[in-house]
A and B are shown apart, each in its own frame.
Chain A
Amino acid sequence: MKWNKRKLTDRIMSGMSAACVIIAIIPLVSILYTVTINGISAINLDFLTQLPRPVGEPGGGLGNAIQGTFIVVGIACFIGLPIGILSGVYLSEYGNNRFGRFVSFVADILTGTPSIVAGMFAYTFVVLYFKSFSAFAGGVALSVLMIPIVTRTTEESLKLVPGSIKEASLALGIPKWKTTLYIVINTGKSGIITGALLAIARISGETAPLLFTSFGNMFWANGLDKPISTMPVQIYTYAITPFPDWHTKAWAGALVLIVLILVLNIGVRFVTRRKYAM
Chain B
Amino acid sequence: MKDRKLSFFLKSKFSGDNIFEGAVGLFAIGVLIIALLLFGELYLESGLSRNAFGFGFLTGSIWDPVSEVFGALPFIFGTLVSSFLALVIAVPFSLGIAIYISELAPGKLRAPLSFIIELLAAIPSVIIGLWGIFILAPFIRDYLAPPLSTYLGFLPLFQGPMYGLSMLTGGVILAIMIIPITSSISKEAIQTVPIYQKEGALALGATGWETIRMSVLPYARSGIFGAVILGFGRAIGETMAVTMVIGNSARISGSLFAPSYTMASVIANEFVEATSKLYISSLLEIGLLLLLVSVIINIIARILVSKLLRVEGGGRA
Interface residues of A (CB under 8 A from B): 6-7, 9-10, 13-14, 16-21, 23-25, 27-28, 30-31, 34-35, 38, 82-83, 86-87, 89-91, 93-95, 99-100, 102-103, 105-118, 120-121, 123-125, 144, 147-148, 151, 175-178, 180-181, 201-202, 204-208, 211-212, 215, 232, 235-236, 239-240, 247, 250-251, 254, 257-258, 261-262, 265-266, 269
Contact = CB atoms under 8 A, between A and B. Distances in A.
B24 A106 contact: no
Interface in B131-179: 131, 133-136, 176, 179
B18 to A, nearest CB: 9
Given A35-B131, A175-B17, 17 more contacts: A20-B92, A20-B96, A24-B183, A28-B123, A30-B135, A83-B30, A103-B32, A111-B298, A117-B294, A175-B16, A202-B122, A204-B124, A207-B239, A239-B130, A239-B244, A262-B122, A265-B119
Contacts of B45: 124
B68 interface: no
Interface string B249-272: 000000000000000100110011
B175 to A, nearest CB: 9
B19 A261 contact: no
A231 B111 CA distance: 32
Contacts of A144: 34, 38
A89 to B, nearest CB: 5
Contacts of A215: 272
Interface string B6-48: 0000000001110111011101111110110110011001000
B127 interface: yes
Task: Tell me if A's interface is mostly helix, strand, loop or mixed.
Answer: helix
Given A24-B97, A25-B117, A113-B237, A258 B34 contact: no
Interface of B: 15-17, 19-21, 23-25, 27-32, 34-35, 37-38, 41-42, 45, 92-97, 99-101, 104-105, 113, 115-117, 119-120, 122-131, 133-136, 176, 179, 183, 207-210, 212-213, 230, 233-234, 236-240, 244, 264, 267-268, 271-272, 283-284, 287, 290-291, 294-295, 297-299, 302
Contacts, number: 259
B38 A117 contact: yes
Task: Label chain B's interface by main secondary structure.
Answer: helix
A30 B38 CA distance: 37
A118 to B, nearest CB: 8
Nearest to B35: A106
Given A21-B97, A201-B122, A212-B271, A113 B240 contact: no
A9 B27 contact: no
A261 B271 CA distance: 28
A265 to B, nearest CB: 5
Given A31-B131, A208-B264, A211-B268, A21 B30 contact: no
Contact of B24 (A27, A90, A117): A90
A58 B122 CA distance: 32
A265 B122 contact: yes
B231 to A, nearest CB: 11
Residue in A90, A123, A247 with the greatest tally of chain B CB atoms within 10 Å: A90
A269 B209 contact: no
A114 B296 CA distance: 13
Contacts of A175: 15-17
Contact of A109 (B104, B183, B302): B302
B130 A235 contact: yes
18 contacts: A14-B104, A17-B104, A87-B24, A90-B25, A90-B27, A94-B24, A94-B25, A112-B295, A117-B290, A124-B42, A124-B284, A151-B31, A176-B20, A236-B240, A239-B126, A239-B129, A254-B126, A261-B124
